[in-house]
Structure 1
Amino acid sequence: MEQKVTDIITHMAHSHQQMARVLDAERQIAVRMAQIIHELPDKQPEFDGIDGMMESAGRINKSLVSYLNVIADLQEAMAENLTHVMSELKSLEDEE
């Protein structure tokens, strides 16, 4: 039974590593977008007027919100998995 729990924890750790890799890639995209925004001139930008600026800002905001939602989902998944592991360990202790 302990081997099964160990295997489950190993698989969960691997899936968490993969989710972390995805999040890191998305973080790098968000950082790069922020760097691009920082480099834009403050005076007389050429964005096809106010509508173009609003559209660009909306896309950036959407990307950042997406990134934060993915982080929240990862935290929720990790908490749920940890809850299952802890209840399994508690049941193992009760059996002993």
Structure 2
Amino acid sequence: MTQHIVTELIEHMSHSHEHMANVLEAKRHVAVRMAQMVNALPDQHPEFGGMGGLMESSHAVTNSVVSYLNSIAELQETIAETIKSIMKELSEEEEE
């Protein structure tokens, strides 16, 4: 019976991780697109609301990339915690 519960738990966590990966994929596309837009900017004399506007845009791109990387780190931590819990449950089950 316990093995069945652990199997169901693993299935639900797998679906949850799949959904989190889909969200990360979407964030990755946004970060890549923003980076492409920045790369397309002219190197000299850009007219984007002066230096202040340019700084705001650069800040937005940086925040997007940082957010994406933080999301990847959170996903890795979640997966590690899940695997740790599953391994603990399986080792306790083997001891019984």
The question of a shared fold, defined as TM-score above 0.5 by the shorter chain, is answered with: yes
- Say how many residue pairs are matched: 95
Distance 2:49 2:30 in 1: 24
Aligned-residue offset at 1:41? 1.1
Distance 1:79 1:8 in 2: 15
Paired residue for 1:14?
15
- Identity of counterpart residues, as a percentage? 52
Superposed counterparts of 1:16-95, under 5 Å: 16-95=17-96
Aligned-residue offset at 1:92? 1.1
Question: Following superposition, which runs of at least 4 residues in structure 1 exceed 3 angstroms of deviation?
Answer: none
Scaled by the length of structure 1, the TM-score of the pair is 0.95
Please give the root-mean-square deviation of Cα atoms over the aligned residues, in Å.
0.8
